[in-house]
Structure 1
Amino acid sequence: MVGRGGRLPFAYRRGPVTIFSAIIYISLLTALLVIHNTVPSAHNDYIPEEISLDEAWHDLQRLTKSFHPYNSHANDDVRNWLLLRIEEILGNGKGPSARVSEDFATVENDLSSNVTSSSQGLSVYFEGTNIMVHVKGTPEFSHLGAVLVNAHYDSVSTGYGATDDGVGVVSILQLIKYFTTGKHRPRRDIIFLLNNGEEDFLNGARVFMQHPISSLPRTFLNLEGAGAGGRAVLFRSTDTEVTKFYKAAGHPYGSVLTGDGFQMGLVRSQTDYVVFNGDLGLRGLDVAFLEPRARYHTSEDSTRYTSIDSVWHMLSAAIATVEGLALDKSEEYQGRVSNDKRIVDNGGSRAVWFDMFGQAFALFKLRTMFIISILLLVLAPLFLIILTVVLVRQDKWYLFDGRVVTINYDAGPDEGQLPQKYKMKGLYGLWRFPVTTIVSVGLLAGFVQLTIRVNPLIVYCSPYVVWSEFLSLFFIFFWFLYRSADFTRPSALVRVYSLIWLFILSWVGLVLVTVSENNYQLAGGYFILFYFTSIFVATAISFLEMLVLMKKRVYLEDLPRLRWWHKQNHKDDDESDDTRPSSHNRQAEDNQDATESSALLQSSTSFQGYGSRRRSRDEGNAEELEKEEGKFDYFGEEQHWSGMLPKWTWVLQILVLAPINIILVGQIGLLITSALRQTPADGSSVAAAYVVIAAFSILIVLPLTPFIHRFTYHIPTLLLAVAVGTALYNQLAFPFDQGNRLKVFFRQDLDLDTGVNRVSITGRSDYIHSVIDSLPSSRSMQVTCNPPPQENRYGLLDCSWQGLPPAVVPRDPSVLPEKSYIDYMHLDVVRSNLSSEGTITISGNNSRACKLFFDPPLSDFKIVDPPNAAEDPRFKPVGPDGVKELRMWSREWERGWKVWVKWGKEGGLDGRAVCAWSDQNDPEAIPALTEVRRYAPHWVTVSKTTDGLVEGLKRFKM
């Protein structure tokens, strides 16, 4: 505290609080936004001489020059190119010889592995065309399990597959090059898997399990893409021990919260991770691109919308992780092979992990977090209770003291000792935080609901405008209510009471997190642990600073003397910045019972008389009294004893509270926003993104609330303008643009018996009609709209009409398309002499993907031709619900399948046979899809609805 000559630059007053808090929040939030939206430049990093980013980029361009789903001829072209590219890499190795020895690296061109699997009434038969490169480790570590590195080289039928999963593929090509030189030879074997067929039921990874080499790995790294560009995020990991190798990545990025999302089933799509971990029992990591989802599975998933920096971000993380796994000498991951060929008993502890500004990576065990949580839940309240007891015993516990005490003062020789009542005001501000929080949250919820009702998809393209609105609104609501209460009932206890309430709320939150840690193995609540810890430390500081206070008894005895000195020394102070009450307030106060804030005598003459008597009595102690009075430089009309409190401790508190919580909460909020904001186009809840943004906005502002009443009007006024502008924008702006297009889903169904075709587009119900009206073929046609057949597609409509006929099968130009449909599929159905058995032979012209639907469900089936279809005890061909649908994929074109079927009920079998066509590289093959791309509004992009873009149907009976 500085006397009349000046003030501390960081005193707990309006100016310093406003400026210092604003600097902290603005600088950290800006840094978070910049880092979140910027891919680290590859030019600023060290790149090993074996790695060529230019080469990787050219490979990516070659890989993505056409759509290449499994059921396309372009897929075969990509496969052949990959084999040649791998041979080129191995032929130009920089090892001891000009060519990499086959004893060191071998290529497995798998054209024989098949798999049959099932899930919830769906069975799948798949023939693989995977490519594997086996790089051998050093002989002394040959007994250790291998490292599997996986990416899939097929794309979806509507996307070029640059990030899903082209970047993963070219990363593997560079990793092969990196590890096939003598300089980087691994200790463990490494198996690089380029699988085909991931996009449709993760078939490529499942068929890999049928190859003998699949018995070698014990750990894995899966490279994937669920967005289109940006940074590659650590989606999930199995345990702490494998995650430690990702820690060496130059630019780590991710949070364990995304892994919890998969574990709780909140994320619909899956990756090959679930096969390697769930079916094979391996331990490993899932690294994938996350955003923007509007480009995912569309033609915008191309090299145009990604960058060489994105390639390096994934590749550099892969190098660090794979090198760490491959050089590891421990037997940590060995486990044992069970009867069903699955690796079991291979240990591993659940991990907690998150990055800090994309530069540092925190990693610890969930068990450690659980123990720390338990200790904090017990010790933190206990520590505050002990401090409370100490303060009470020292008579320094000013909190909760609502007494009105009577003090005698010397009124002079005539009047003698007269009583004066004083309010301790220890309850002032007690209920301010909960009431303000409830009202502010309620008001913010109203604005959230307004946005959802009026313009529910604005977050699709403008998430940061939504963030700005919600942050500004919550701050304004809280500030206004706190300042209003502070104006009518000022209290120095607002800060500590706010911290106590925050402590209680965060303690309850930590209890819930601790339960989820122990019962459900969920680690995503780690930020609550830090949140609680910071609040506890800040609360403890407020408790500790009360130790410097006078004992209440001494304070009350000296109050008349010290109050007089305060009046004398501050009567000429500048009272302009809201720190003193107005004359009107002072006059009103004269009519009330005296409090600490009241003058000791109600008339100025009496006070001056008292002062003159005190001066004559204390002239010899004037310097000591001046020193004592310095302790009572209280703020405004707050309690006088608060002037004894240190004026700088709030700086410690805000430094403890704000930075760590802004960083952790902000990073998580931005990550979840990126994951959720464009999922309503897929049929996910519209409200989810808004609730997340609102909740995390509240969590970001709450650490500021103990100090918010000290803010001047300047920041709230600015934020009010921001809130008004962003609120208007969020209600009125169009929610899509060319960088954030609305995704719609295309499907064309052919009735091969009648020749009728129907084009179906599925999309948001509030915009789908605008899309369909823009298509020439829909005019004068009857458009039928219904909820989509898929479950949990909220807010979507499936609209269909008789569209342009496809030409996915070569035909005589003189023959009408409808007349050629009979040649699209060959179907032969034979019922055996037994009552509930038969065989179905099916093949598609210019297709290698067909499926069968059964009513009633099959109780058993077997692929008769091609023969020797493998059976794996890890995969049951028939699930507990029987077979309602059987999907079949062939590596050969037009060969088809012969299937023996058996159903459990008496009577016949009704069914549908469907073959799919997914190759749209020729724009004339599917004119209806070409029409959508050409005529749909510029703010629309298109993706596939199901396996085939065109599906031809025939019905059968047995």
Structure 2
Amino acid sequence: MVPGSKLPCKSDTPNIFIRFIRTVFGYRKTTLTLFVVLSLVFTFLFSWYDNNLDYSVALPTDPKEKLVLDEAWFDLQKIAKYEHTYGSTSNDYVHDYLQSQILSAIKGKAYIEYDNDLNGTNSILFSTRSSPEYSSVSYYESNNLIVRINGSDSTLPALLLSAHYDAVPSSFGVTDDGMGIASLLGVLYHYSENTTAQPKRTIIFNFNNNEEFGLYGATSFLSHPWFEQIKYFLNLEGTGAGGKAILFRATDYGIVKFFKDVRYPYGTSIFQEGFNNHLIHSETDYKVYKEKGSIRGLDLAFYKPRDIYHTGGDNIKNINIKALWHMLANSLDFTDIVSSQQIDLDDEYLKHETANYSHDVAAYSSFLNYFFAFPVSQVFIVNVATLLIVPIIEIPFLLIIFSYKKVWKVSFLNVIKFPLSVVLSLVALHEVVRKTVEYNEFLPNSGAGLLVVTYSAIFLLSNYIVLNLFNALNGYKVINHDEKLIVLFEISILYKIILIWSTIKLADNKIGDDHSGEFPFLFLYLLQAVASIFGFIGWSLKSSKKPTIVEVSEESQPLLSDQGVSYGSEEGEPRFSGSSSLSFDEEDLFAGHEKLKKFFSYDWSIQFLIVVPLSSLLIYNSGFLIIDGIHKSIQESLASEFLIYKFILVFSVAWSLPFLPFVFKLNRIIVLGLLTIVASGVFLAAITEPFDQLNPLKVRFIQTVDLNLSGSDSFVNVYGRVGTPLSDVLSDVPSLKESNDSVNCTALTDGNQVCSYKSSLPPHFVEGISDFNDYLQIDVLKNSSSGTDHPFGFLVGEFKIKAPKNRMCVLNFKNAITSNSEGSNYKDVPVKTVIVYDDKTKSNLSNVLPQELNIEAIPEGYSRDEKGNYIFKDLNGINELQLNKLSWTKDYHVAVQWVPNLVEDATSNKLAVSINCFWADLAPLATEDGVIAAIPAYDELLHYSPNYVSWANRDRGLVSISKSIEI
């Protein structure tokens, strides 16, 4: 310092290294701006890489694996050539193709066996009770294709690999579930083509059918004798239509831990929590194997996008061979890991010993092809320990700061202004969300990312304005104040509250109240707590002198202002003001103790680096993973819409939180950037179409005929959300214009609607049939309810259903005594027993069981008589019977038994039966006049609807013909 001068001499000027450190790490607006930008780049780059199929997954280089992938890809092309639902001839084509590939692959392999359910040994009748008042019984004729690779150690329990080869009527079924089937074939090729590939553990493959409308193939497999060997499973599925195959859920930690060594692990228990808590309404065969089969395993599935899931868009053109390789490679690796060795879980079956934590629900995640899994009991222990240890560390420092040295004077306003700012910002943001719903309700379908970015910018900008308004009202006067540390600590308290709630729930974690996906809150809390403790250490080391009043605090001055003292990186001696969490005292810039001391403050950079980059990445990556999985389902219901907007709001706020402690120091560039994002986001939200070719409007089709009505006209019924341009789309089809009929739209529950019009285009499934009555005929063979006597025994009815070229019918047993009765006189469900006759059985009901089906002689549940007929008895009542058969020519032959009406003023004991049969075959029909479309009304809509519309099936068929009878 030059004597008598305030200018520094040359020797006092910091060297270039010190100036560099101050430039990069000094608490300056420019430096903070750089850190924010780098953090966002870090977040976007790593999240993009982790979730990107093309860059995070490499095609195989090993010649044998390349051959397996090529064979599997060719199989996928063949499987997905046609729509192939259970009720279609194309389903038979896929079955026969798979059988030929399997037989060719296992030829000459003595240790590999094959079984086909077409031998008639695995048909089944089973019940699904959805509530105490409602039970559905299903008859299913199975044609699963089952392969068993016998392991060298027969004492080890077997591993099941399962996928379904049927699709829905409106889809080619590439990802749902052609790639699962192709992956199973790939694994089979690996073990059959390699002469040294016999595994130690037995591997069983279930290529099952009719998963889509009842999980039938998996359910029937439970009755197969090979199932008794199985204790572990891997189910391959598709609940979306592309991207990477994600580990959706696992039965327990014991089995999921073996997924960590696959080459491309990708999964999160966030989705598992959604499934277990019934927030995701799709189901897979995993449910059957876990709940009915009581075996342990994984559900690996494609999960996005939902708008072409179950539509014609799920085809080869829209898929990448890398997606198949991602599923196939992980299936190969998992199978090899489990089948090549004895694992710890085998002890439970071989030695009756229970491995520690093996049955715990798993909390798991992946990042950059690394997989992490923990039993929830351990997560609970770590959470409790963290919640106890962190305060033990924090409290002594707080006592030193506030009671001993008294160096930090925190006023009530300092404490309350950030919570108030968050609340006010949430109110403002909620209003913006409400306006979005009001003016562009379905925007999340195409613009979920736009909304997240816009809402996050609004929340940050709102907090900036509110917090600086508080500081302006306080005159910017602070006393040894540390704005960022207060906010860091208060955010850590918020995470602590969430973590306490989650930990309490984990103590009794269960299906329906699962919290296995919430473990990231532990890491978010720790990051905030560590940064706060670091700040407390700095304050506790600070000299306990009289506090200095600072007129303009660097941390609290307006972001758009150039006034105030700057943190230096300029040439010459920089100037500092205020105090910091960790300060380095140097000589006074001015003489005299009354002058302000300067502190070179660098602790903020450590706090920033601890909190912001990792928190931002964790929240962003998890949030967009969920967004990708659910945002298209806004078209499914009002409840889904509410859930999606709620999640976008929470996601936007959560992603903003890590940046809020440093909002005081953001410079004008970032503020102007936020203003630009908000303005452009609001503008784009107003003009962006929610439906376009890349983000189509998904609607569901079924053509119905009610033979109970005069005229027997057919009606096209299209289901979608209220508020979509559904009516306009339908009004533009040529057949409707020609007939001059109108489209009638009726509101349904949960924000949905059905738009219907009378169709002049009848379906063509059988040559020569033009009358709808010929597609559904019911012959009553026995009717014991005739007359008005009130018998005290059970009543029996027997009938046949003739439905040519049909495989699927549903019978509903109404509680009403007759079809014209206004209400039910029964106190419970009248039908107690159903019989489905074996196709080889020609006898009538009196030859099945004595005394006209004596109910006392029939056991509860499923049974078969000596003639092979299928019987199901449920004294609580049966509401529905679902029939699924493989024969195209065989009639449905059914009998039911119900309790008589005992109400004195009843005039009849007849039972009303509603019969609804479904057709789904889209294969064109060859006639004398040429080839015609099987369902012209559906074909017309596919051809003439705009490119922003995608079509899916409403039910198990695309055509439904119904008729009611009384027996």
Query: How would you bin the TM-score normalised by the shorter chain?
Result: 0.7 to 0.9
Partner residue in 2 for 1:532: 525
Cross-structure match for 1:148? 160
In structure 2, what is the Cα distance between the partners aligned to 1:804 and 1:154?
A: 30
**What do residues 413-450 of structure 1 show as CA deviations (whole Å, max 9, x unaligned)?**
xxxxxxxxxxxxx5563222111111111111111111
* CA 829–451 in structure 1, closer or farther in 2 if over 3 Å, else same: farther
Q: Which amino acid aligns with 1:352?
A: A
* CA offsets 1:745-785 (integer angstroms, 9 cap, x no match): 11111133542211111112212212221223334224332
Partner in structure 2 of residue 578 of structure 1? 563
Correspondence for 1:951 among 951, 960, 965: 960
C-alpha distance in 1 between matches for 2:382 and 2:590:
40
Q: Deviations over 1:588-611 (max 9, x none)?
A: xxxxxxxx99xxxxxxxxxxxxxx
Cα deviation digits, residues 34-79 of structure 1 (max 9, x gap): 5434444654555461453222221111111101111111111111
Distance in 1 of aligned mates of 2:34 and 2:669: 10
The answer to which of 384-393 and 224-233 deviates more is 384-393
Q: Deviations over 1:898-932 (max 9, x none)?
A: 22211224121011122210111326111110111
Q: Quick one: structure 1 residues 712 and 105, their matched pair in 2 at CA, closer, same or farther if it must change by over 3 Å?
A: same
SS for the counterpart of 1:677 is helix
- Residue 434 of structure 2 aligns to a residue in which SS? helix
Q: Quote the Cα distance in structure 2 between the aligned partners of 1:711 and 1:784.
A: 56
Deviates more, 1:67-76 or 1:443-452: 443-452
* One-letter amino acid matched to 1:946: D
Are 1:162 and 2:120 counterparts?
no
Work out which of the residue numbers 620, 628, 646 in structure 2 matches 1:666: 620
Q: Percent identity?
A: 26
CA distance in structure 1 between the partners assigned to 2:713 and 2:204 by the alignment: 49
Superposed CA deviations along residues 638-696 of structure 1, whole A, max 9, x for unmatched, are x998955x612112212211232222211221121112211122224213222212211
- Provide the residue aligned with 1:24 in structure 2: 39
Determine if the alignment matches structure 1 residue 454 to structure 2 residue 411: no
1:850 corresponds to which of 794, 801, 809: 809
What code does the residue aligned with 1:892 have?
A: S
- After TM superposition, give the deviation of residue 715 of structure 1 in Å: 1.0
TM-score normalized with structure 1 length? 0.83
Matched, 1:942 2:966: no
Question: In structure 1, what is the Cα distance between the partners aligned to 2:190 and 2:12?
Answer: 69
Q: CA deviation at 1:333?
A: 4.5
Alignment of 1:773 with 2:731, yes or no, is yes
Q: Secondary structure at the match of 2:363?
A: strand
* Aligned position for 1:422: none
Report the equivalent of 1:464.
449
Check conservation: 1:432, 1:485, Cα contact below 8 A. yes
Distance 1:479 1:81 in 2: 64
| Structure 1 residues 84-233: aligned runs within 5 Å | 84-91=100-107, 99-101=108-110, 103-112=111-120, 113-119=122-128, 120=130, 121-138=135-152, 141-180=153-192, 181-233=194-246
Which residue of 720, 735, 747 maps to 1:763? 720
Counterpart residue number, 2:759: 803
Matched, 1:891 2:846: no
Q: d(CA) in 2 for partners of 1:872 and 1:778?
A: 52
2: CA distance between counterparts of 1:916 and 1:334? 48
Of 511, 516, 519, 1:523 maps to 516
Worse-superposed segment, 288-297 or 930-939: 930-939
Partner Cα separation in structure 2 for residue 399 and residue 133 of structure 1: 75
2:759 match: secondary structure: coil
Contact 1:850–1:915 at 8 Å: present in 2 too?
Answer: yes
1:210 to partner: Cα distance: 1.4
**Do the aligned partners of 1:335 and 1:346 also contact (CA within 8 Å) in 2?**
no
CA shift, 1:956, in A, is: 0.4
Q: 1:399 to 1:179 in 2, by over 3 A?
A: farther
**2:826 is matched with which residue?**
none
Number of the residue aligned with 1:254 = 267
Q: Which has the larger radius of gyration?
A: 1
SS at match of 1:448: helix
Q: Retained in 1: the 8 A contact 2:778–2:801?
A: yes
- The answer to whether residue 839 in structure 2 is matched with residue 828 in structure 1 is no
Q: Tell which deviates more after alignment, 666-675 or 480-489.
A: 480-489
1:458–1:730 CA contact under 8 A, matched in 2: yes
**Secondary structure at 1:49's aligned position in 2?**
helix
Equivalent of residue 479 in structure 1, options 447, 452, 464: 464
**Contact 1:130 1:193 survives alignment (8 Å):** yes
Conserved in 1, the CA contact under 8 Å of 2:163 and 2:180? yes
CA drift at 1:884: 1.9
How is 1:252-331 mapped onto 2 (pairs within 5 angstroms)?
A: 252-330=265-343
Contact kept in structure 2, 1:751 and 1:952, CA below 8 Å = yes
8 A Cα contact 1:336 1:344, kept in partner: no
8 Å Cα contact 1:153-1:196 kept in structure 2: yes
- Structure 2 residue aligned with 1:925, among 919, 928, 934? 934
Q: Distance in 1 between matches of 2:168 and 2:811?
A: 22
Q: 1:355 aligns to what?
A: 366
Q: Which position in structure 1 is the counterpart of 2:822? A: none
Aligned pairs (5 A) from 1:413-428: none
Is residue 818 of structure 2 the alignment partner of residue 862 of structure 1? Answer: no
Q: Would you say the 8 A contact 2:589–2:597 is kept in 1?
A: no
- 2:643 corresponds in structure 1 to 688
2:809–2:884 Cα contact (<8 Å) kept: yes
- CA distance, structure 2, for counterparts of residue 809 and residue 722 of structure 1: 56
Other-structure match for 2:706: 751
CA–CA distance in structure 2, aligned partners of residues 626 and 293 of structure 1 = 60
* 1:151 to 1:749, Cα distance in 2 relative to 1, 3 A: same
Match of 2:819 in 1: none
Structure 2 contact 700–952 (Cα < 8 Å) conserved? yes
Residue 306 of structure 1, CA deviation: 0.7
What is the CA–CA distance in structure 2 between the aligned matches of 1:641 and 1:825, rounded to whole Å? Answer: 98
Residue 61 of structure 2 corresponds to residue 13 of structure 1: no
Secondary structure, in 3 states, of the residue corresponding to 2:507? Answer: helix
Mapped partners of 1:44, 1:810: distance in 2: 46
After superposition, the Cα gap between the structure-2 partners of 1:12 and 1:881, relative to the gap in structure 1 and judged at 3 Å, is: farther
Could you tell which deviates more after superposition, 469-478 or 258-267? 469-478
Task: Name the aligned partner's letter for residue 796 of structure 1.
Answer: N
Give the aligned length: 848
- Secondary structure, aligned partner of 1:680: helix
Instruction: Supply the distance in 1 between the matched residues of 2:837 and 2:492 (Cα, whole angstroms).
Output: 67
**d(CA) in 2 for partners of 1:720, 1:838:** 74
Equivalent positions of 1:46-65 (< 5 A) are 46-47=61-62, 49-52=64-67, 53-65=69-81
**One-letter code of the match for 2:755?**
C
Taking only aligned residues, the RMSD between alpha carbons, in angstroms, comes to 3.2
> What displacement does 1:151 show?
0.5
| Cα offsets for 1:311-349 (capped at 9, x unmatched) | 011111111211112123035146569xxxxx9999522
- Comparing 34-43 with 455-464, greater Cα deviation is found at 34-43
2:675 to 714, 717, 720: 720
Q: Secondary structure at the match of 2:284?
A: coil
TM-score (norm 2): 0.83
Where 2:24 maps in the other structure, the secondary structure is coil
Map 1:308-707 onto structure 2 (within 5 A). Answer: 308-330=321-343, 332-333=345-346, 348-357=359-368, 359-392=369-402, 394-400=404-410, 429-487=414-472, 488-489=475-476, 491=478, 492-521=481-510, 522-552=515-545, 555=546, 577-580=562-565, 627-629=586-588, 643-644=598-599, 647-683=601-637, 684-707=639-662
Amino acid at match of 1:864: Y
SS in structure 2 opposite 1:915?
strand
Q: Deviations over 1:92-151 (max 9, x none)?
A: xxxxxxx322x344454543211222223222110100001101111xx21111000000
Pair 1:872–1:835, CA change in 2 (3 A): closer
**1:117, 1:123 within 8 Å by CA — same for their partners in 2?**
yes
Shift of 1:484: 3.9
2:394 & 2:800 partners in 1: Cα distance? 77
Mapped partners of 1:773, 1:354: distance in 2: 48
Among residues 909, 913, 916, which one is paired with 1:914 in the alignment?
916
